[in-house]
């Protein structure tokens, strides 16, 4: 009882106090959870497909929600408002989609790394937390073959600029050798540039196949 008074259950999307920790009615109405009626490659709605003119290094992406409404609020809280506890809800929804839509097994799971400065400021790496939760649920080893070497943000760049910048931002750790199928985790799929750059490096290190999964995918072209 005391714990509920100090830490009352909240909607995982907007953070509003609720009777339980389930999404509130308002956020549920605004949430577009994705299904098989999406592009089989990038995982977006057909009208917002990311790969009509792009060839990705990863085989396929699966995202749980469109990046708008309640899911967008949850992701912003998770990344910018020091709410790592949201990872459990987010990983649960991602797990549901990974298991339901990927008809294959993986040999390892990894994540898109962030800069050391961001990790210090936040106190955690969002993609790493999600990957750790999913590694437990999927019974996969969590590996860290990638490192962030560039500091320039993707946020304000054009789509072409994002691809060029992403290629400079990541590198393989020393003496990395991979085998089999790798699942690459990030929180948000915008243009696919970051995931593409990381997947390319994983394949260079020996992964036979790379698939990706994110909590959200942007629904507007950038």
Express each pLDDT in 86-114 by its tens digit.
999 999 999 999 999 998 899 999 999 99
Contact indicator for 90, 215 with CB cutoff of 8 Å: yes
Q: What pLDDT sits at residue 177?
A: 95
**How many domains does the chain contain in total?**
2
Q: What pLDDT sits at residue 103?
A: 85
Q: What pLDDT sits at residue 9?
A: 87
Q: Establish if 73 belongs to a structural domain.
A: yes
pTM recorded for the entire structure? 0.91
Classify the phi-psi angles of 25: left when phi > 0, otherwise alpha if psi is within -120 to 50, otherwise beta: alpha
Q: Establish if 64 belongs to a structural domain.
A: yes
Indicate if 7 and 42 belong to the same structural domain: no
pLDDT in tens, the chain (222 residues): 434 444 688 899 999 898 777 899 999 999 999 987 899 899 998 888 888 767 899 999 999 999 999 999 999 999 988 889 999 999 999 999 999 999 889 999 999 999 888 888 888 999 999 999 999 999 999 999 999 987 766 665 666 676 677 778 899 999 999 999 999 999 999 989 999 999 999 999 999 999 999 999 998 754
Q: Establish if 23 belongs to a structural domain.
A: yes
Residues 6+ apart with CB under 8 A from 201: 145, 146, 170, 171, 172
Q: What is the pLDDT of residues 171-184, one digit of tens each?
A: 999 999 999 999 99
- In terms of Cβ atoms closer than 10 Å to its own Cβ (0-12, 13-18, 19+), residue 20 is exposed
Q: What pLDDT sits at residue 219?
A: 85
Q: What is the CATH number of the domain that holds 71?
A: 3.40.50.2020
Residues of the chain above pLDDT 90, percent? 65
Indicate if 53 and 12 belong to the same structural domain: no
Q: What pLDDT sits at residue 2?
A: 35
Q: What is the pLDDT of residues 58-76, one digit of tens each?
A: 999 999 999 999 999 999 9
Indicate if 26 and 136 belong to the same structural domain: no
User: d(Cα 65, Cα 51) in Å, to the nearest integer?
Assistant: 18
Q: Establish if 222 belongs to a structural domain.
A: no
Indicate if 129 and 172 belong to the same structural domain: yes
Q: Whole domain around residue 14: which residue ranges?
A: 1-30
Indicate if 16 and 59 belong to the same structural domain: no
Q: What pLDDT sits at residue 37?
A: 83
The DSSP element (H or E) to which 186 belongs, if any, is: strand 181-189
Indicate if 38 and 22 belong to the same structural domain: no
Q: 207: which strand partners?
A: none
Q: What pLDDT sits at residue 157?
A: 60
């Amino acid at each position: 009882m005391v714990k509920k008074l100090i830490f009352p259950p909240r909607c995982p999307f907007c953070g509003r106090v609720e009777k339980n920790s389930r999404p509130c009615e308002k956020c549920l109405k605004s949430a577009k959870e994705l299904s098989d009626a999406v592009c089989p490659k990038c995982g977006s709605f057909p009208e917002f497909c990311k790969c009509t003119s792009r060839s990705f290094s990863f085989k396929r992406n699966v995202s749980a929600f469109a990046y708008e409404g309640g899911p967008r609020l949850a992701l912003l809280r998770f990344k910018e408002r020091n709410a790592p506890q949201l990872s459990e809800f987010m990983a649960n929804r991602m797990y549901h989609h990974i298991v339901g839509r990927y008809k294959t097994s993986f040999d390892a799971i990894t994540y898109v790394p962030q800069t050391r400065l961001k990790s210090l400021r936040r106190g955690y790496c969002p993609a790493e937390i999600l990957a750790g939760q999913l590694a437990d649920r999927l019974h996969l080893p969590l590996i860290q073959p990638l490192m962030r070497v560039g500091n320039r943000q993707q946020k304000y760049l054009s789509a072409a600029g994002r691809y060029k910048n992403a290629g400079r931002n990541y590198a393989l750790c020393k003496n990395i050798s991979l085998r089999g199928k790798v699942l690459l985790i990030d929180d948000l799929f915008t243009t696919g540039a970051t995931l593409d750059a990381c997947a390319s490096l994983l394949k260079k290190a020996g992964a036979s196949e790379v698939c990706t999964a994110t909590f959200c995918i942007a629904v507007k072209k950038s």
